[in-house]
Amino acid sequence: MKIKRISVYHVDLPLEHPYWLSGGRLKFEVLDATLVKVETDSGLVGWGEGTPWGHTYVPAHGPGIRAGIETMAPLIIGLDPRHVLDVERAMDLALPGHLYAKSPIDMACWDIAGQAAGLPIADLMGGGSRTPRPIASSVGAKTIDETRAVMDRYRQRGYIAHSVKIGGDVTRDIARIRDVEDIRRDGEIILYDVNRGWTRQQALRVMSATEDLNVMLEQPCETLDDIAAISGKHASPVSVDETLVTLQDAARIARDGLAEIFGIKLNRVGGLTKAARMRDIALAHGIDMFVMATGGSVLADAEALQLAATIPDANCHAVWACQDMLTVDIAGGRGPRNIDGHLHLPEAPGLGVHPDENALGDPVGVYS
């Protein structure tokens, strides 16, 4: 089987509510999505998606995905998409770095490999837990009252996992953490996502003031060096997310004990092939995981769910359904959807959902 054509689509995905990252630093209203159709000489077709969480969140540029695929395509055409490692090496040779540009191609190849094997991707990867994964909400609020209102809105839809965005004013962050812990329900999974918003000193102030609560804090500071510098000076469980990009990052975090949780985002780390190695490093070091799309449609959510299903249930806290935050649906309601706050692994071979091509418009690039 050979890849014979790659078609690239650009779609804007508007958010239902304008979204402010931790502390109100960054505002997002529309996500720049790239959908990729990979056709083979066997007739099998795979789909991938790359949707960064805006241009300002981390170094991942929506239009850069399309430019990157244009650069990589000549080295990918003709390869067997079931040999995902060969495709990965070809992409790494054609374009060092730029992992976010590679993930849609990797995803489409896994989709084809799954279809060819007659298995969901998770089963093909040797996992395949059918335990529904809790969906983490994304509580991008600022005040205590807003936080309560947004969390209640999610609870009414069945959510038991919440990512509460903090990382602004330290005093207000401490007050919001204490309030959320006051109203925390039994069994709820709550992650406080700082999105790099604190300096080392600010992080230590909050960690000290909330030490009795043992709350989980995600990406408290900008860099791994910052997180390493405060490591050992606090007792808070730490999740690392934005600074978990390469396999080398994963190895360092695990070896140096910088985090208790990996927040693996598929588009950021370059797709399933690379993320699976991070999963294994995590499991070998007693590190639990959140697995999430970086953003995007139900396709991106499905990809995250496939990887999550290869993680033992006890080590996978939650996934995320960005689809619930969008006003457009490019797959007509198909694919894994929120059922009482959880996503269920699709039984269809491959990724488990393809877009409605009519919803994508004309391709902006076709390579063959």
For Mg ion, how many residues bind (rule: CB under 5 A)? Answer: 3
User: What tokens were used for 363?
Assistant: 């391709």
Binding mask 234-263 for Mg ion (x = CB under 5 A): -------x----------------------
Q: Is 13 left (phi over 0), alpha (psi -120 to 50) or beta?
A: beta
d(CA 93, CA 75): 9
Is-contact 147 180, C-beta < 8 A? yes
CB of 7: closest distance to Mg ion in angstroms? Answer: 31
The token duo for 144 is 């205590």
> Which range in 215-223, 288-296, 325-333, 348-356 contacts Mg ion by CB under 5 A?
215-223
137 binds Mg ion per the rule CB under 5 A: no
Asked if 288 touches Mg ion (CB under 5 A), the answer is: no
Distances in whole angstroms, Cα of residue 26 to Cα of each of 73, 174, 180, 196: 33, 21, 23, 12
Instruction: Please report how close the Cβ of residue 241 comes to Mg ion at its closest, in angstroms.
Output: 4
Q: Could you confirm whether 233 is annotated as catalytic?
A: no
Q: Of 124, 142, 138, 69, whose CA–CA distance to 100 is shortest?
A: 69
Sole window of 4-12, 122-130, 212-220, 332-340 interacting with Mg ion (rule: CB under 5 A): 212-220
Task: State how far the alpha carbon of 246 is from the alpha carbons of 62, 100, 194, 275, in Å.
Answer: 19, 11, 21, 9
Stretch touching Mg ion by CB under 5 A, among 67-75, 86-94, 214-222, 248-256: 214-222
Residue with Cβ nearer Mg ion (49 or 218): 218
* Residue 265 a catalytic site member: yes
Measuring CA to CA, which residue among 220, 4, 255 is closest to residue 112?
Answer: 4
Among 27, 102, 233, 265, the active-site one is: 265
CB 268, min distance to Mg ion, A: 10
- Shortest spacing between CB 91 and Mg ion, in angstroms: 26
Among 31-39, 115-123, 181-189, 192-200, the segment contacting Mg ion (CB under 5 A): 192-200
Helix, strand or coil, per DSSP, at residue 75: helix
The tokens of 137 are what?
């909400």
By CB under 5 A, is residue 193 in contact with Mg ion? yes
Residues binding Mg ion (CB under 5 A) = 193, 218, 241
| Residues tagged active-site | 165, 265
